[in-house]
Structures are given as structure tokens and as C-alpha cells.
Structure 1
Amino acid sequence: MTRPAVMSWSSGKDCTLALHRARQEGALDVVALLSTFNETASRVAIHGTRRAVARAQARALGLPLIEVDLPAPCSNADYEARIGAASLRLKEQGVRDWIFGDLFLEDIRQYREGNLAAQGLSGHFPLWGADTRLLAQEMLDLGLDARIATLDPRLVPRELCGSRYDWAFLDQLPPGVDPCGERGEFHTVVANGPGFAAPLNLRQGETVERSGFVYTDFDLLPSVRQ
């Protein structure tokens, strides 16, 4: 018997593949996505994805999107309080399992599992420990269409922001940069991938630098914005 689960949704490639894997494995029934947003900018935390784009992704995947707004700046205490409140509401609805797209950073996994365990919840990591070069290959083989939404210019050339996530991009990464950007070298926004009923029509906007990171804005074309 499958158990209901929520997918932690960053809007990027790793959570897209993790959702696909979880659905294939079949032990969990993903009933919703959950994203955190900077409440001032109305964008997905870290990735900088517009709220409208995240909502469009959820519609394409046929899942409701739970939106958790975070203050800016956001302390660990603020984050844990707001995520904890969302977790409690989900638990009351019978959802005790969370899925994450984390790959290999042990401290992040321990942090997540500790917070979940405190509420009697469980975490699942479908991509954990996999060779990230092979994960990149799998994503591209599945037809995943992702764009580089933000990057750390100390590690990745700033002119690559806004690029399509493909082998041409991967071949330009400096030595030592993880091909999935797991150490924060870059983050993506997905326009299409496994489970999407239809691709998103994204329009690329300006590229700016803020707080030491480079961001490229992606918006929905006006005809599909909601």
C-alpha cells in the first residue's frame, strides 16, 4: 500500500528527477509539491524562480503547490518555524513522508532528517549517493529541459547564466565543479521533463548580480501566465 508524500520542490532539475524516481518506485504517492518563497521578492528561495513559474510547473505535473513564505533575511529559527507549521498541517492530513532531491551533502541530509524526526516524519532521498555525471546523463536522456537560473561567479563563468542545461554547458564547467551543481555552484529552473503534461513557455529576461550571485530571470510568456 502506497503512503502519501510531499515533494520538496525547488523548481530545478534535481527535484524533477527525484519526483520521477519516486513515482517510478511506487512506494510513495506524491500528493503535493512544497516550495519556499522569499516573501518580499515572491521568488523560490535560492533559485530565484518566480512564483508564477513554480505554479505553472505544479500544474504541468498535475499536483497542488504548497507555498511557504519566508522572511528576508531568514534565520534558521524562522525557517524551521514556518516549515514546521507546514509539516504539522500535512501530518494532520496523513502526510508523514517527505521527498528531497539532495545528492550527497551529508550535513544537509542530517539537518532535514533531524527536523523531520522531531515531528515523527520520514525523509526519502531517491537520488542519494548516485554518480552525478550519470545523473546528468539520465536527466538529458529523459528530455529534461532546464535553464541555469543562478550561479556563483567565483566558481562558474557568469556568462553561462541563462544557458540551457545540456552537454555544451557541462563541457564548459571548470574542473572541480559538480555537474549537478550540488555544492551550490549553480541552480536551474525546469521548463519540461518527465511527468510534465506540456512544456512551459519561458521567456528569458535580464541577468543581474545580487549579493555575490548571478541570476537570470525567467518568466512565463503572457499568454500562459496565471
Structure 2
Amino acid sequence: MKRLALSWSGGKDGCLALDVLTRQGIEVACLVTTVPAEIGRTFGHGEKMEMIKLQGEALGIPVHFIRCSFEGYTDSFVKDLIELKGQLKITGVAFGDLYFDPHREWGEKVAEAVGIDAIYPLWMEEKDALNGLKTFVDSGYKSTVIRVREDVLDESWLGRDLDDSFLRDIKLEKVCPMGEAGEYHTFVYDGPLFKQRIILEQPEVIELETTKKLEYRKYGLQT
């Protein structure tokens, strides 16, 4: 039986990958999230580690943080997956990437180095990205935009939920509807696999180099 680690940044792609795998009867033994020492936040989304821990608790799946540096990112990923292979008996690692070939090539090389399979449950053609977003919107999961690239999307997108109006409006922008090039990032806070909803309150906008991010000063599991 397949038993996987799932690369997890807290957003819609990882969540949709988890949903697809679960529906296929594949066990996700843990979520793996990279945390570069240089920033002390998750790689890519720049999220607080506490927020990722909340998701793991809400989903009932352990979270494993891969501590790394930008230079040693791949080596740390491989090393930790080897440890998880021994501890949790994982047979593969899954990624939520959609169509960006260099990301897939990297993941496959990492998996090969560990001696496990690389799984891409959402893999599609670029032209199908809008359908991919519609699949998420219709899935029952609740996700909000927490980060935008300032060169392509303005601050007004922050805090928007991925719903029918988001789907309608993102089609009008010159971006990948799924944000595959990092145009926007999301945080999933509820849905079919969540045992508890995550409450997000007191948002504030912070500046991070070329992006703007929504930070929540108050957050926790709904009681």
C-alpha cells in the first residue's frame, strides 16, 4: 500500500492534492514543510510555522518541518525524506505542482535520491489551469489569499476567498488562474477533510520584498 509524505505550504494546491490522494485511498502519513533558517518562515508563502501546525492539527496529520538554508535546500529535503522513510515507512512523496516542468524534474530527482516514488496528483496542461481552480472552488474547501506579487496583483486581492467571484475576476487578469508562477498564495482554513475550522482574525498587511502579505494577529481552532 502506498504511504506518502505530502509537500505542504498551507495553500490550495497542497490541499487539493491531499483530497485527491485521500479519495484514491492513499494514506498521507505526514505533511512536509520547508523552513529556511534565513527567514524563519515557510518557503514560498512566508507563513508562520504556527499556522502550518494549526492546519496539521485541524486535519489530524503530523507536520514535519524541514529546516534548511537556501543553498542546502535540496540536500536537507533528501536527508529528511530518508529519515521519514525509515520512521514512517513512506513509499513516496507527493507534490501539488500543476504544470511547471522544472519543479517536477526537481521533485523526481529528490525522490530518486531517496529511493521512493514522486507523485503529482494534480498534474495538468497549462491551458487547464482555470478548470483546476474551478475544481478547487467547487470542492468545499475554504481558502483565502494571503500573499500577492505586487507586479501582477494589487493589495485588494488580499483576504479574498477562493469562490465564484474570485474565479470570475481572476480570469480577467494576466496571470495563471491557479497562481502557478507565484502570482498569489493562499491559506486553507476549512473543508471536507478538516476536523476543525481554523479561525483567522485581526488581519494586517505587511511588506515582503516584492510581495505583500496578510498576517493574522489572532488565529486558532474553532471550539
Give the paired residue count: 218
Equivalent residue for 1:85?
Answer: 79
Query: 1:204, 1:216 within 8 Å by CA — same for their partners in 2?
Result: no
Amino acid paired to 1:111: W
1:144-183 alignment runs, 5 A limit: 144-173=141-170, 174-183=172-181
1:1-226 alignment runs, 5 A limit: 2-26=1-25, 28-39=26-37, 41-71=39-69, 74-75=70-71, 78-93=72-87, 94-129=89-124, 131-173=128-170, 174-221=172-219, 224=221
Q: 1:219 to 1:135 in 2, by over 3 A?
A: farther
Query: 1:132, 1:178 within 8 Å by CA — same for their partners in 2?
Result: yes
Give TM-score scaled by structure 2 length. Answer: 0.90
Q: 1:7 to 1:159 in 2, by over 3 A?
A: same
Give a deviation string over 1:133-174, Cα, whole Å, max 9, x none.
222222122221111111111111222122222232333334
Give a deviation string over 1:106-159, Cα, whole Å, max 9, x none.
111011101211221211011101622222222122221111111111111222
| Structure with more relative contact order (C-alpha pairs < 8 Å, separation 6 or more) | 1
Gaps of 5+ in 1: none
3-state secondary structure, aligned to 1:201 = strand
Query: 2:36, 2:43 within 8 Å by CA — same for their partners in 1?
Result: yes
Query: 1:48, 1:149 within 8 Å by CA — same for their partners in 2?
Result: no
* Percent identical residues: 27
Gaps of 5+ in 2: none
Q: 1:112 to 1:204 in 2, by over 3 A?
A: farther
Query: 1:146, 1:192 within 8 Å by CA — same for their partners in 2?
Result: yes
> Cα RMSD over matched residues?
1.9
Amino acid paired to 1:108: H
CA apart distance, 1:38? 3.5
